[in-house]
Structure 1
Amino acid sequence: MKRSSVFIVFLLSSCLFVGCQRTGQIQIMSGFAQGTTWHVTVWDEEPLNTTKLKELVVKELERLDQLLSNYRNDSVIEQFNARKTTEPINVGAEIVNLIQNAESVSDASQGHYDLTIKPLYDLWGFSGDHLTPPEEQSMREVLSAIGYRKLHCFPPDCIGKAAPDVRVDLSSIAQGYSVGCISTLLENIGVENYIVEIGGELMTRGGKPDGSPWRIGIERPLPEGRFIQKVMTIERDAPLAVMTSGTYRHYFDEHGRRYSHILDASTGKPVDHQTVSVTVVNDNPTMADAWSTALLCLGADKGKDIAERAGIAALFITETDNGLAELTTSAWKTMKNVIVQ
């Protein structure tokens, strides 16, 4: 449903290793999961067994992949999608909680953000990266099975469909949730200084061994090259999530027209406004992930008002005839201990 683009920017210097105010060495682990790359950057005053730590991270990512991934038929969510029934199905408390969180964003975004968009995603051919703009009749038929209110939660661990053909796509919220799970894993073993990043979605806590803060780069939303648009200096010890959704990396050109991967559930079509990326900063990585997609679906003109009402710290970047234009919410401008340059 969406892909994100955020650069991690942090400068290593010799003082990270000797002669610092605090002892410790930055360690970086990486790998592949959920169809993308992941990086975990950590340090601690006590020596870290990064081999064992990486094993724990990989195990947790594999568990989440089995639970949430739409690209594998044996995942819990895809098994739910395959069931043609309106009876409640046990999917576990984590998925129930994710859907309840997403529902609150769907309500706030007036239905533009919707997890039941999976049939539309398949209809357009995005699942196989082969775009086929559908006929209006086909789209109308599929839209009859779309609507987040057609998905019912039966806490603590069951969900059900109002119609048998309802199917769920968790890609707009799963990476944010996964980032939060890995962050919790680190904290549970006593690591309090880290950057966790999956596919560009990230969460930070603490800072570097020399006492300086983590610096996070937001990518300039242009398809050619990779450049930094903004740098965030995060001067806080508590965890903070930074999530970006963009239209500029994943799109198709068909008969002279460009189609974004971001589908608007209210129309059944790719978004056609000029907002090319939205970055959301929030304490909750799951909600930051969902909101960044929702606001990108809406675009800057509609999205800013909704973000303001919800108190969301958001940066909208829109492509204009005169270049890129930025628009920020009040919560973004008043973020504490976060400097954006």
Structure 2
Amino acid sequence: MKTTIFNKYSFNLLGLVVLMLTTVSCVKSKDIQKLSGNAQGTTYHISFWSPKKIDLKATAKNIEVEFARIDKQLSNYRPDSAIEQFNAMLSDQPQTVDTEIVSLIEQARAVSIASNGCYDLTIKPLFELWGFTKEALSPPTEATIKAAMNNVGLGQLEHLDANHLRKHNPDLKVDLSSIGQGYSVSRITSLLEQQGIKDYMVEIGGELQTRGQKPEGQPWRIALEKPLSGERTLHKIITIQRTTPLAIMTSGTYRHYFDVDGKRYSHILDARTGKPVTHTTVSVSVLHTDPTLADAWSTALLCLGKDEGIKAANKAGIAALFIEQQGEEFNEFSSDGLAKLEQVSIK
């Protein structure tokens, strides 16, 4: 399940409900070093091994410091974060912004364009309008949706250079929740790699990346949960034979929704319409070398749904697994990129 400290409402806001990904291992625990804890409103689990001696306490401290640094940069729940200070500046003049934030926005912008605008970092006003930030849904009128849409759209945010952005609409606000956790995975794996660790599995709130193998040469194996709202059941096992880095990010709709007057409202909002999606796609898993992009793409493809999503994934060369629910049945559909992904099996 994916929640993140980047926004205290992100569990509801972005509908990024990850199908719980867990390791399946038969290797003796003494062969693998493990670190775990709480961060970003969820838990993290790190498994690694190295032929060289690693200072586990120092590694754990470095990870803690990096989580705190990311929180101060990207969290929408705290007014003193860099992104919230940018949001609070009600100006249409150029603003100096950290390169890290500009880079994340531009990566998300590319995915937004590829999704024809379905995925957008500025969609928060619509979630607030629909009541998804609270415990009760409040279906808005067409007029109020139209008014809220005036403050939605990355097209109103201009990229000037690596350190400068300009809001053409001063009321525009950016929420990095849908890309921040994948970015956090990339930052933590970088810390491990800087110490020469080449065999690891890093998981934050169900979002993860692997590299290398287990100590005795076995592949990393990841369990993918069946997309059921009332239970947790094993659905698939992803076996990763490749030794190069691979991220697995999953977004889903099946745990967070509202039922009102016999109609189900998904927490996934289409930024093009300002309304919840109506398709039957309940989860999308993206496998990619870059966890940041995988995070954004899993959200974008879930927003699009299977039909539009497969077209977008195929065009961009994204390896993705779509699951659709028809009554009690779950049907799977793959992008072309998933079939081409070597040394990875899903059974």
- Answer yes or no: is 1:60 the counterpart of 2:74: no
Mapping of residues 1-341 of structure 1, within 5 Å: 1=14, 2-14=16-28, 17=30, 25-321=31-327, 323-341=329-347
- The answer to whether the 8 Å contact 2:34/2:47 transfers is yes
- The answer to whether the 8 Å contact 1:7/1:228 transfers is no
Q: Following the alignment from structure 1 to structure 2, what is the Cα–Cα distance between the partners of residues 54 and 131?
A: 41
TM-aligned CA deviation for residue 130 of structure 1: 4.1
AA aligned opposite 2:61: E
TM-aligned CA deviation for residue 259 of structure 1: 1.9
TM-aligned CA deviation for residue 124 of structure 1: 2.1
Q: Following the alignment from structure 1 to structure 2, what is the Cα–Cα distance between the partners of residues 65 and 167?
A: 17
TM-aligned CA deviation for residue 322 of structure 1: 5.1
Q: Following the alignment from structure 1 to structure 2, what is the Cα–Cα distance between the partners of residues 74 and 255?
A: 41
Select between 189-198 and 130-139 the one with higher mean Cα deviation. 130-139
- The aligned residue for residue 11 of structure 2 is none
TM-score (norm 1): 0.94
Select between 131-140 and 102-111 the one with higher mean Cα deviation. 131-140
TM-aligned CA deviation for residue 121 of structure 1: 1.9
AA aligned opposite 1:173: I
CA displacement 1:168-221 (0-9 Å, x = unmatched): 111111111111111111101111111111111110001111111100122111
Q: Following the alignment from structure 1 to structure 2, what is the Cα–Cα distance between the partners of residues 125 and 53?
A: 41
TM-score (norm 2): 0.92
- The aligned residue for residue 22 of structure 1 is none
Secondary structure of the residue that 1:318 maps to in structure 2? strand
Q: 1:161 to 1:266 in 2, by over 3 A?
A: same
- The answer to whether the 8 Å contact 1:152/1:162 transfers is yes
Specify every segment of 5 or more residues in structure 1 that has no aligned partner in the other structure, as ranges.
Answer: 18-24
- The answer to whether the 8 Å contact 1:139/1:268 transfers is yes
CA displacement 1:215-238 (0-9 Å, x = unmatched): 012211111111222111111221
- The answer to whether the 8 Å contact 2:27/2:214 transfers is no
Secondary structure of the residue that 2:123 maps to in structure 1? helix
Secondary structure of the residue that 1:224 maps to in structure 2? coil
TM-aligned CA deviation for residue 307 of structure 1: 0.8
Secondary structure of the residue that 1:59 maps to in structure 2? helix
Q: Following the alignment from structure 1 to structure 2, what is the Cα–Cα distance between the partners of residues 63 and 255?
A: 44
AA aligned opposite 1:12: C
Q: Following the alignment from structure 1 to structure 2, what is the Cα–Cα distance between the partners of residues 239 and 10?
A: 18
TM-aligned CA deviation for residue 129 of structure 1: 4.5
Q: Following the alignment from structure 1 to structure 2, what is the Cα–Cα distance between the partners of residues 340 and 133?
A: 39
Q: Following the alignment from structure 1 to structure 2, what is the Cα–Cα distance between the partners of residues 179 and 89?
A: 28
Select between 87-96 and 200-209 the one with higher mean Cα deviation. 87-96
CA RMSD of aligned residues (A): 1.5
Q: Following the alignment from structure 1 to structure 2, what is the Cα–Cα distance between the partners of residues 192 and 205?
A: 6
Alignment: residue pair count: 333
Q: Following the alignment from structure 1 to structure 2, what is the Cα–Cα distance between the partners of residues 67 and 223?
A: 33
- Aligned-pair identity in percent equals 49
AA aligned opposite 1:217: A
Q: Following the alignment from structure 1 to structure 2, what is the Cα–Cα distance between the partners of residues 329 and 216?
A: 20
